[in-house]
Amino acid sequence: MTRTAVWFQHNLRIAGNSALEWALHRAQQYNSEIILFYLYSSIDEAPWQRGAASSWWLQQSLTSLKHDLSQRGLVLNLVRGSASDTIPRLIEQYNIDAISWQRNYEPHLAHRDQQLAEQLVQYGITLNMTNDGLLPDPGQLMTQKGTPYRVFTPFYRQLRKGLLYKTDQAESTTKPHAVVSVTLYESLTLEALNLLTPHPWQHKLARHHQPGEQSAHQQLQRFINERLIDYPTRRDIPAAEATSTLSASLHFGEISAQQILHILQPIIEHGNPPQASATEVFLRQLIWREFARYILWHFPNSAEESMDNRFDTSFWNFDEQRMQCWQRGETGVSIIDAGMQQLWQTGIMHNRVRMLAASYLTKNLAQPWQHGASWFWNTLVDADLANNSMGWQWVAGSGVDAAPYFRIFNPEIQAKKFDADGHYQHKWLNDFSRPATTLVEIADSRREAMQRYQDHIKRNHYK
pLDDT given at position 177: 61
pLDDT given at position 463: 45
pLDDT given at position 428: 95
Please say if the pLDDT value at position 401 is more than 90: no
pLDDT digits (tens, 9 = 90+) for 65-108: 999 999 999 999 999 999 999 999 999 999 999 999 999 989 99
Closest by CA to 238, choosing from 333, 351, 326, is 351
pLDDT digits (tens, 9 = 90+) for 15-70: 999 999 999 999 999 999 999 999 999 899 989 999 999 999 999 999 999 999 99
pLDDT digits (tens, 9 = 90+) for 243-297: 999 999 999 999 999 999 999 999 999 989 999 999 999 999 999 999 999 999 9
Instruction: Categorize the per-residue pLDDT at 175 as very low, low, confident or very high, splitting at 50, 70 and 90.
Output: low
* DSSP letter string, 68-129: HHHTTT--EEEEES-HHHHHHHHHHHTTEEEEEEEPP-SHHHHHHHHHHHHHHHHTT-EEEE
Angle at the Cα of 141 (from 137 to 142), degrees rounded to 5? 145
Sign of the torsion angle spanned by Cα atoms 31, 94, 253, 401:
negative
- Contact yes or no for 9/256 (Cβ under 8 A): no
Q: Determine what percent of the chain is predicted with pLDDT higher than 90.
A: 82
CA distance 40 to 38: 7
**What mean pLDDT comes out for the span 391-413?**
91
**What mean pLDDT comes out for the span 233-239?**
97
Is this model's pTM higher than 0.85 or not?
A: yes
pLDDT given at position 1: 75
Using CA atoms, how far residue 285 sits from 161, 165, 221, 281, 346, in Å, is 16, 19, 17, 7, 22
Instruction: Categorize the per-residue pLDDT at 166 as very low, low, confident or very high, splitting at 50, 70 and 90.
Output: low
Q: Which residue has the higher pLDDT, 402 or 339?
A: 339
Domains and their CATH numbers in the chain: 1-132 (3.40.50.620), 133-171+214-298 (1.25.40.80), 309-460 (1.10.579.10)
